[in-house]
C-alpha cells in the first residue's frame, strides 16, 4: 500500500548554492498525492512545485524543479532520495526559500527524521514503473542506462584524477533498506581546486568542509576524513536514487551510471518516457511491493548510520 509520514518533520539549515538559511517541513499527504514542494515565501504566484522529471529546469551541480509561474526549488536530490529510500510515496514539503538545506551534505538527517516519525499506510495500492527494454543516454565518455530488473539496482562508476577518490565502483540493490544502511550518510564531495572557481560563479556559497567531503590530490581536507572508503561513489548513488524518484513512482529496473550526474539521469528519464514500449506502469502485489526501496525499513536500520 502507499504510505506517508505519520507526522511532520522540520529542518533548518543553509542552502549549498544560495547560502540562505531556510526552514523546511515534510508533511503527511493523502493517497495519490505524490511529492510536491510548496514555497511558503511566495505570494501572488502558484507556490506549488511538482517533484517530477518534467519539472526539472537545471541540473548544474544540483537538481532544480520549477512550475509554470517560474517558482522553483533547488538541491532537492538528497531529500528526494531519503523519501524514496524510506518508502514514502506521498508528502507535501513546505519550504520558505528557494533551496533545500544542505545540512551535513548527505540524506542522513532526513532519513533519521522520517524513520523516527514512522510511516502511515494509506488505502491505495502502490504502482511502479517497470523497465521493459534498455534505454541509454551518452555524453562523451559518460553514459547512463536503465534496463529490465525485478528490483531497483544501482550500479555506479566514477573516475577522478585526485588520488583521494580515484576510480570507484559500487553495485547495490535498493531493496530491504539498503539505502538507509549503505548510502544515506554519504556526503556530497568536491575537489579543493574547484571551490574557488565555483564560488566565482556564485555557486556553493553555503558550502563548507563540514558539509561536504573536500579532497586535494591524495588528501581529504574535511576533518575526520571519509565516512566510507568509497564515500564519493556512494554519494553518487544517493543522488541517482533521488533523481530517479522524480519518475513519479518507484522504478523496477537496473540503473547503470558511468561518470554520470544529475543532468544525465534526468535525460535518461526523459528518454525512457519518450519510448512508450520501454516501460509499463504496474500495480504492485505484496511480493513486488516488498522489493521496493524502503519496504520494511525500521528504526533499527539506522544503527549503522555514521554519527
Q: Are residues 252 and 131 in the same domain?
A: yes
Cell output for 104: 551535513
Do 129 and 269 meet the contact criterion of CB atoms below 8 Å apart?
no
Q: Are 261 and 143 in contact (CB under 8 A)?
A: no
**12 shares its domain with 74:** yes
Range of the domain at 288: 127-304
Question: Quick one: 142 and 261 in the same domain?
Answer: yes
143 is catalytic: no
Whether residues 110 and 225 fall in one domain: no
Half-sphere exposure of 106 (CA within 13 A, CB side): 30
Judgement on whether residues 160 and 267 belong to the same structural domain of the protein: yes
Domain identity same for 284 and 252: yes
CATH of residue 65's domain is 3.30.230.20
Q: Which CATH number characterizes residue 298's domain? A: 3.30.1700.10
> 299 and 178 in one domain?
yes
* Beta pairing partners, 82: none
Give the separation between CA 247 and CA 146, rounded to whole angstroms: 12
Same structural domain, 116 and 175: no
pTM for the complete prediction?
0.93
Q: Which of 54, 86, 121 is the endpoint of a domain?
A: 121
Q: Is 184 left (phi over 0), alpha (psi -120 to 50) or beta?
A: alpha
Assess whether 44 and 193 both reside in one domain: no
What is each CA distance from 212 to 67, 166, 203, 226, 273, in whole angstroms?
Answer: 29, 17, 14, 10, 33
**Residue where a domain terminates, one of 86, 121, 156:** 121
The predicted pLDDT at position 46 comes to: 98
Q: Are 11 and 109 contacting, i.e. CB atoms less than 8 angstroms apart? A: yes
Per-position b or e across 59-94, b if 16+ CB within 10 A of its CB: bebbbbbbbeeebbbbbbbbbbbbbbbbbbbbbbbb
Residue with the three cell numbers 542552502: 15
- CA–CA separation, 226 vs 193, rounded Å? 18
Please tell me which residue in 78, 89, 235, 262 is annotated as part of the active site. 262
Q: What is the CA radius of gyration of the chain?
A: 18
**Considering 88, 104, 121, which residue would you say is the last residue of a domain?**
121
The tens place of each residue's pLDDT in the chain, 307 residues long, gives 999 999 999 999 987 767 789 999 999 999 999 999 999 999 999 999 999 999 999 998 899 999 999 999 999 999 999 999 999 999 999 999 999 999 999 999 999 999 999 999 999 999 999 999 999 999 999 999 999 999 999 999 999 989 999 999 999 999 988 999 999 999 998 887 777 666 666 655 545 556 688 898 989 988 889 999 999 999 999 999 999 999 999 999 999 999 999 999 999 999 999 999 999 999 999 999 999 999 988 777 766 565 5
What pLDDT does residue 18 have?
77
Domain count, the chain: 2
Residues 217, 234 within the same domain:
yes
Report CA torsion sign: 69, 99, 153, 175.
negative
Query: Which residues are bridge partners to 159 per DSSP?
Result: 167
> How, if at all, do strands 251-252 and 127-131 pair?
parallel
Residues 105, 232: Cα–Cα separation, whole Å: 12
Question: Are 207 and 298 found together in one domain?
Answer: yes
Amino acid at each position: 500500500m502507499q504510505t506517508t509520514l505519520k507526522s511532520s518533520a522540520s529542518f533548518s539549515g543553509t542552502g549549498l548554492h544560495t547560502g540562505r538559511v531556510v526552514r523546511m517541513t515534510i508533511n503527511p499527504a493523502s493517497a495519490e498525492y505524490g511529492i510536491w514542494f510548496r514555497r511558503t515565501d511566495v505570494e501572488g504566484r502558484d507556490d506549488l512545485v511538482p517533484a517530477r522529471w518534467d519539472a526539472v529546469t537545471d541540473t548544474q551541480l544540483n537538481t532544480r524543479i520549477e512550475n509554470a509561474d517560474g517558482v522553483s526549488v533547488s538541491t532537492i536530490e538528497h531529500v528526494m532520495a531519503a523519501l524514496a529510500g524510506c518508502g514514502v510515496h506521498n508528502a507535501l514539503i513546505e519550504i520558505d526559500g528557494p533551496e533545500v538545506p544542505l545540512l551535513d551534505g548527505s540524506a542522513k538527517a532526513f532519513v533519521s527524521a522520517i524513520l523516527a516519525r514512522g510511516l502511515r499506510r494509506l488505502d491505495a495500492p502502490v504502482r511502479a514503473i517497470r523497465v521493459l527494454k534498455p534505454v541509454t543516454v551518452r555524453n562523451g565518455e559518460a553514459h547512463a542506462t536503465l534496463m529490465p530488473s525485478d528490483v531497483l539496482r544501482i550500479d555506479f562508476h566514477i573516475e577522478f584524477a585526485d588520488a583521494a577518490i580515484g576510480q570507484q565502483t559500487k553495485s547495490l540493490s535498493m531493496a530491504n533498506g539498503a539505502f538507509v544502511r549503505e548510502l544515506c550518510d554519504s556526503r556530497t564531495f568536491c575537489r579543493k581546486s574547484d571551490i574557488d572557481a565555483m564560488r566565482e560563479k556564485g555557486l556553493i556559497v553555503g558550502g563548507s568542509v563540514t558539509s561536504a567531503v573536500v579532497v586535494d590530490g591524495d588528501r581529504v581536507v574535511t576533518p575526520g576524513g571519509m565516512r566510507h572508503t568509497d564515500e564519493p561513489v556512494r554519494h553518487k548513488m544517493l543522488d541517482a536514487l533521488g533523481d530517479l524518484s522524480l519518475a513519479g513512482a518507484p522504478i523496477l529496473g537496473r540503473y547503470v551510471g558511468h561518470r554520470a550526474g544529475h543532468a544525465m539521469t534526468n535525460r535518461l528519464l526523459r528518454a525512457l518516457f519518450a519510448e512508450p514500449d520501454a516501460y509499463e506502469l504496474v500495480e504492485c502485489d505484496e511480493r513486488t511491493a516488498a522489493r521496493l526501496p524502503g519496504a520494511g525499513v525500521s528504526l533499527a536500520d539506522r544503527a549503522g548510520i555514521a554519527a
